[in-house]
């Protein structure tokens, strides 16, 4: 797997931006703007077979992760993704990112 993943730009996490999210598989991050110039805080990292569908899932009333729900409802958040077609590559990158960084809404063991 290529360690130099090509990531999308930061897309403001609002429903009207869902058309900017691919339906391809990949790994994504939810990031929060805490007002520090040029810096976004890691909120969550995940993987999906369909990034667009997962983007909308997190905005839906059915979102079960209350930490994600609270961040999206109460903060200026952003979505950043990279396309990876193989599930094995998605799994490996997600694990690597969780090892390297702190993500407020990821629950260990999930």
Q: What is the pLDDT of residue 38?
A: 84
Q: What is the pLDDT of residue 107?
A: 80
Q: What is the pLDDT of residue 21?
A: 98
Domain count, the chain: 1
Residue stretches of the chain with pLDDT short of 50 = 1-2, 109-110
Reported as type and span, the H/E element at residue 28 is strand 26-33
Is 35 within a domain?
Answer: yes
Structure confidence by residue, pLDDT tens digits, 34-44: 999 889 999 99
Rounded to 5°, angle at Cα 57 from 59 and 94: 110
Is 30 within a domain?
Answer: yes
Is 5 within a domain?
Answer: no
**The domain containing residue 93 runs over which residues?**
11-100
Cα–Cα distance, 22 to 26 (Å, whole number): 9
| DSSP assignments along 47-105, one per residue | EESSHHHHHHHHHSTT---HHHHHHHHHS-EEEEEEE--SHHHHHHHHHHHHHHS--TT
Burial string for 68-89 (b: 16+ CB within 10 Å, else e) reads: bbebbeebebbbbbbbbeeeeb
Is 107 within a domain?
Answer: no
Q: What is the pLDDT of residue 108?
A: 57
Is 55 within a domain?
Answer: yes
Is 3 within a domain?
Answer: no
Is 76 within a domain?
Answer: yes
Q: What is the pLDDT of residue 66?
A: 96
Is 106 within a domain?
Answer: no
- CATH code for the domain in which residue 17 is found: 3.40.1440.10
């Amino acid at each position: 797997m290529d360690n130099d993943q090509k990531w999308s730009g930061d897309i403001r996490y609002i429903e009207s931006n869902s058309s900017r999210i691919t339906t391809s598989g990949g790994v994504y991050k939810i990031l929060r703007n805490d007002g520090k110039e040029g810096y976004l805080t890691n909120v969550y990292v995940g993987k999906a077979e369909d990034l667009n569908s997962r983007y909308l899932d997190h905005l839906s009333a059915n979102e079960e992760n209350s930490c994600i729900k609270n961040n999206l409802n109460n903060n200026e958040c952003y979505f950043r993704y990279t396309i990876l077609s193989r599930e094995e590559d998605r799994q490996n990158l997600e694990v690597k990112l969780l090892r390297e960084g702190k993500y407020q809404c990821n629950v260990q063991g999930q």
